Amino acid sequence: MTRILVVDDEPQILRALQINLRARSYEVITAATAKEALRAAAQQPPDLVVLDLGLPDFDGGEVIRGLRGWTDVPILILSGRTQSREKVQALDAGADDYVTKPFAMDELLARLRVLSRRSIRGEDQPEVVIGDYTIDLASQLVTGPDRESGESVTVRLTPTEWKLLEVLVRHPGKLVSQRQLLAAVWGPADHPDSSYLRVYMGQLRRKLERDPSRPRQLLTEPGMGYRFSP
Amino acid sequence: MTRILVVDDEPQILRALQINLRARSYEVITAATAKEALRAAAQQPPDLVVLDLGLPDFDGGEVIRGLRGWTDVPILILSGRTQSREKVQALDAGADDYVTKPFAMDELLARLRVLSRRSIRGEDQPEVVIGDYTIDLASQLVTGPDRESGESVTVRLTPTEWKLLEVLVRHPGKLVSQRQLLAAVWGPADHPDSSYLRVYMGQLRRKLERDPSRPRQLLTEPGMGYRFSP
DNA sequence: CCGATTCCTCACGCGTTCTTCACGGGCAGA
DNA sequence: TCTGCCCGTGAAGAACGCGTGAGGAATCGG
């Protein structure tokens, strides 16, 4: 089920959206402030974001940048500001669409369909291979031969290990900066020390790489980040 | 260069778009009818399509479906029809955005940037060639033949080397002053001595140039700065 | 309440990278 | 020809980043 995060400080708009979206069987989570929004997005990563620019605590642009620091989730801006300057700013900051209030509900829904259509396109590659192991993104399963018996066994990954692996595998071949990884796994807050990363990468390698001390797929790019090489 | 197909039957709009897009160094091809549009798209596949719904020969919806049959190119609808029913139809038919006339040019351009931003993901990343080596800006990867074996190997660049190379490569052919380079790599503080630069340029040349002491692409402009010649 | 798993933190060792300096060569102007 | 200036190159110590092991805190399930 597609999960939508709706951020707006006007309760009646929040309610109207909630009702209409739930009726289309979206899962809806809501936030009324910028802080709430970022926290909610980190805890339950949404597939779509509907964002009002006029929030009480921070500017909506801050939310866009806060999200774009670690996720590519499509963002639709819903705002009362009609000036094209505002629109350009929001779109260039990383938003994907901009609808001005008052708005037609059916148009908004159509635009959301467009966004979810696009974002799903690249994601379907449910199986990835690392050495002897097969990773099934969809069912969150890692299978491979046992160390000695050779039988096919499922490898146990902890939630943190899984999130880390997922981020890397979803950007095959690309370098993923430590910032990105930390934000994706531990939330958008600032993480000055990246020692978690080293620990968990080590654990992943120990579970997935044939020779953990000489990784062939879970590569380190010193000073920059990590890379999953398919 | 990004190629845009603009489809509209009103000459003045066609001209206005053409001028503005060319000024942003897009490559523009135009069509005034549905048939022309489909033919042009087939002959020179565009990276973006701007489409007016009110064409003389066929309905714009036909063009959308005609394109969607074989390509995922982003389509932005530019139409005088403001009814949300029209918008929903077009968006559900496969369009990616919908702007109503009259429109603000800067907003349209911003929306085009959004579309090209999204579509570039996953498709062909910008690659730059230096001698035998290929630089992939998107995934931060440099590949080339090994010095002896000739096999394809990835070249290890340190973070500083990478930053330096990136600045140069992103301004192909242009002269980049030492001030600019120092500021881009080592921060905006003042750097009276430019000896870092010489050291790291040397290292880059040693890793990328066939004859490091006689560079062909990473050129020195004495007293001024450096230049990447493609 | 207890045990097991998972998460977070720290310190150490090692290899790499950064920074700095000195020296030599090419080139232009005096 | 001499003299600066600027650039390339090599070397060396310092600083940094990474992998690893271990231990305690937190969490979860029974």
Over residues B129-156, mean pLDDT = 83
Please return the burial class of B69, using the count of CB atoms within 10 Å of its CB with bins 0-12, 13-18 and 19+: exposed
- d(CA B1, CA A212) in angstroms, rounded, equals 43
Residue B101 covered by a domain: yes
Domain-ending residue, one of B96, B116, B136: B116
CA terminus-to-terminus distance, chain A: 29
> Which range of residues forms the domain containing residue B214?
127-228
- Is the per-residue pLDDT at A121 higher than 50? no
- The upper half-sphere exposure of residue B99, i.e. CA atoms within 13 Å in the direction of its Cβ, equals 23
Bridge partners of residue A144, in order along the sequence: A153
The domain spanning residue A139 has which CATH number? 1.10.10.10
**SS3 per-residue string spanning A131-154:** CCEEEECCCCEEEEECCCCCCEEE
Q: State whether residue A29 is helix, strand or coil.
A: strand
List C-alpha distances in Å: B159 to A139, A221, A222, B142, B154: 36, 9, 8, 13, 15
Confidence of residue B137 (pLDDT cuts 50, 70, 90): confident
- The last residue of one of the domains, among B116, B143, B171, is B116
Dist. CA B49–CA B95, nearest whole Å: 10
The whole-number pLDDT of residue A195 equals: 87
B212 within some domain: yes
- At A148, is the pLDDT very low, low, confident or very high (cuts 50, 70, 90)? low
Please give the distance of CA A51 from its chain centroid, rounded to a whole number: 16
Question: Is residue B122 situated within a structural domain?
Answer: no
A141 and A58 housed in the same domain: no
Contact B114 A122 (CB under 8 A): no
Distance of CA B40 to the CA centre of its chain: 21
Q: Are residues A149 and A203 in the same domain?
A: yes
- Please indicate whether, in this complex, the C-beta atoms of A104 and B92 are within 8 angstroms of each other: no
In this prediction, residue A128 has a pLDDT band, given cuts at 50, 70 and 90, of: confident
pLDDT of A6 higher than 80? yes
Burial class (CB in 10 A: 0-12, 13-18, 19+), B196: middle
Report if residue A142 sits inside a domain: yes
Peptide bond into A11 cis (omega under 30): no
Same domain? For B112 and B184 the reply is no
How far is the C-alpha of A99 from the C-alpha of A92, rounded, in Å? 15
Residue A139 lies in a domain: yes
Q: Cβ–Cβ of B106/A114 closer than 8 Å?
A: no
CA distance B30 to chain A (A): 25
Instruction: Judge if A107 and A134 occupy the same domain.
Output: no
Same domain flag for B198 and B221: yes
Phi, psi (deg, nearest 5) at residue B142: -120, 120
Tokens for B133? 């080596």
- Find tokens 């099934």 and name the residue: A136
Q: Are residues B142 and B61 in the same domain?
A: no
CA atom of A26 to C1′ atom of C26, Å: 71
Is B92 an interface residue toward A (CB < 8 Å)?
yes
pLDDT at residue B132 is higher than 90: no
Which of A10-19, A100-109, A145-154, B42-51 bottoms out in mean pLDDT, i.e. has the lowest? A145-154
B164-192 pLDDT, tens digit each: 999 999 888 899 999 889 988 888 777 77
Read off the pLDDT of residues A99-120 as tens digits, 9 standing for 90 and up.
999 999 999 999 999 999 876 6
Do B144 and B106 belong together in one domain? no
Distance (Å) from CA A75 to C1' D16? 38
Within a domain: residue B121?
no
| CA-closest candidate to residue A130, choices A94, A98, A103, A157 | A157
- A121 assigned to some structural domain: no
Buried b (16+ CB within 10 A) or exposed e, A66-87: bbeebbebbbbbbbebeebebb
CA distances from B158 to A222, A225, B32, B161, B229 (A): 7, 11, 52, 5, 22
Do A111 and A141 have their domain in common?
Answer: no
CATH number at residue B102: 3.40.50.2300
Same domain, A108 and A152: no
Q: Are B56 and B9 in contact (CB under 8 A)?
A: yes
Query: In this structure, are B72 and B26 located in the same domain?
Result: yes
Last residue of a domain, one of A86, A116, A146: A116
Tell me the mean pLDDT in the region A46-58. Answer: 91
Residues composing chain B:
230
Contacts of B92 in chain A (CB under 8 A): 110, 113
Q: Are B103 and B141 part of one and the same domain?
A: no
B109 and B145 in a single domain? The answer is no
Q: What is the dihedral of CA B20, B21, B22, B28, to 10 degrees?
A: -140
The one-letter amino acid code at B104 reads A
pLDDT-derived band at A215, boundaries 50, 70, 90 = very high
Is residue B72 in some structural domain? yes
Nucleotide at minimal C1' distance from the B220 CA: D7
One-letter identity of residue A98:
Y
B106 contacts A173? CB cut-off 8 A: no
- The number of domains in chain A is 2
**Residues 146 through 165 of chain B touching chain A, CB cutoff 8 Å:** 158-159, 162
- A43: closest CA among A78, A5, A81, A8? A5
Name the residue among A80, A86, A72 with its Cα closest to residue A115.
A72
Least confident of A25-34, A67-76, B62-71: A67-76
